[in-house]
Amino acid sequence: MSHGALVLIEIGALLLGIALLGRLAGRLGISPIPLILLGGLAFGEGGLLPFNTGEEFIEIGAEIGVILLLLMLGLEYTPQELMGNLNKSRIAGVWDMVLNATPGALLALALGWGPVAAVALAGITWISSSGVIAKMLHDLGRLSNRETPTVLSILVIEDLAMAFYLPVLTALLIGLDLGASVLTVVIALASVILILYIALRHGHFVSRLVWSKSAEVLLLSILGLTMLVAGLAAQASVSSAVGAFLVGIAISGPVAEHAHRLLMPLRDLFASVFFLFFGLSTDPADLVPMLVPAILLAIVTMGTKLLSGYLAARGAGIAEAGRWRAGFALMPRGEFSIVIAGLAIASGVDRSLAALATAYVLITIIVGPILARLPDAPWFADWTKRIQKERSRKQRLASS
């Protein structure tokens, strides 16, 4: 059989498999993310029937999936809403870093991997997965919830912080001198400021630039601009996801509404490819030695994410139920954590870090979307209502 035919057959089988898993998830009333990940594990490296001919297509599709997820999130909000939420969430962003980076750093030191590995593992446990959370919020129908802007603000703060963190980590890993490290950070910072400035001050121009009455031209214009900005952002050591998100922020009004409708099927397709790729690129045998530390780390840091999300929503004046929804929503880690682990291993850090990171990320991605449904359970909703009523009663007594 020719290589081209084999690639088409394997990709077709994988996409059909995703569709079947999505249908099963719908029957079970759960997010399809965990099932797609487990399906990827079954057919990836070391799986039951390894997929090995269309890896490049799937890898590129996965990257496009993250970009489209963040672009679509950006389309939901105006520049004014973004800046208002970022201003409200500054303190919450600091607490998010402290609460979630510390357990990773301490575990790396306890395992004897050294201070550089501690910085890397701190980043792995700190950064939530924008792609996974974006998909999860869509699946759960929470994009219009009051707590969602707070969740997105935390994600944006984390992703923007990567513009500083990744250059610093790279400098530590390869031993760059101080001057080169500072230059890398300055370039990344300047790129973020430039993209933010264009999105916030000249969004109307961006909307006019891409607008067309032709659905085909509009779709190509938005996709082309988004990929261009995402690629330039990545080249400047800034997250491509941040670039895509800010493009979405810059597009507003009727253009955003039309774009949302056109992009939704593409977003769903490539987002599924992203989760599939994550599972395909993981060898289950590598996870076994680090499974216990990964489970313990996941329990601790899912708890700290729950706390940081709860505190952030409370600071934004969100009611009790929304605070819990925000905390549970932030639990999954993903693409950034794997990137950080890859950088560390390529620079000679203990290879066990990669196995730990992969097992840890898989646990949070599988368990996170399941736990995120807890606040929708009737018993949980009743419990939060009782807490809210009791708090209101105490406030009335204190003020009287």
Segment 154-160 shows an average pLDDT of 81
Tell me the CATH number at 123.
1.20.1530.20
Highest mean pLDDT among 86-95, 103-112, 377-386: 103-112
Is residue 248 over pLDDT 60? yes
For residue 295, tell me if it sits in a domain.
yes
For residue 28, tell me if it sits in a domain.
yes
Which phi and psi (to 5°) does residue 141 adopt?
70, 35
Residue 120, both tokens: 């890397």
Q: Is 196 or 128 the better-scoring residue by pLDDT?
A: 128
User: What is d(CA 348, CA 333) in angstroms, rounded to the nearest whole number?
Assistant: 23
Q: What pLDDT does 279 receive? A: 72
Read off the amino acid at residue 310.
Y
Q: Is 235 or 146 the better-scoring residue by pLDDT?
A: 146
Domain that holds residue 190: 20-376+383-388
**Under the phi-then-psi rule, with left for phi > 0, alpha for psi from -120 to 50, and beta for the rest, what region is 14?**
alpha
For residue 6, tell me if it sits in a domain.
no
CB contact at 8 A, 142 and 150: no
Indicate the number of domains in the chain.
1
Q: Looking up tokens 């990567």, which residue turns up?
A: 162
Q: What confidence tens digit (pLDDT) does each residue in 111-124 have? A: 888 888 899 999 99
For residue 248, tell me if it sits in a domain.
yes
Confidence band of 181 (pLDDT split at 50, 70, 90): low
User: What is d(CA 256, CA 262) in angstroms, rounded to the nearest whole number?
Assistant: 10
Is residue 98 over pLDDT 90? yes
Q: What pLDDT does 54 receive? A: 65
Segment 280-300 shows an average pLDDT of 85
For residue 260, tell me if it sits in a domain.
yes
Confidence band of 53 (pLDDT split at 50, 70, 90): low
Q: Is the dihedral of CA 193, 195, 198, 200 positive or negative?
A: negative
For residue 394, tell me if it sits in a domain.
no
Q: What confidence tens digit (pLDDT) does each residue in 30-47 have? A: 667 778 877 877 777 666
Is residue 176 over pLDDT 60? no
Q: What pLDDT does 325 receive? A: 94
For residue 158, tell me if it sits in a domain.
yes
- Averaged pLDDT of the chain: 82
DSSP string, 310-322: HHHHHHTT--HHH
Is residue 238 over pLDDT 70? no
For residue 97, tell me if it sits in a domain.
yes
Confidence band of 227 (pLDDT split at 50, 70, 90): very high
CB contact at 8 A, 135 and 71: no
pLDDT more than 90, % of the chain: 18
Q: What pLDDT does 306 receive? A: 95
Q: What pLDDT does 177 receive? A: 60
Q: What confidence tens digit (pLDDT) does each residue in 202-217 have? A: 777 888 888 888 889 9
Q: What pLDDT does 39 receive? A: 81
Q: Which residues contact 299 (CB under 8 A, 6 or more apart)?
A: none
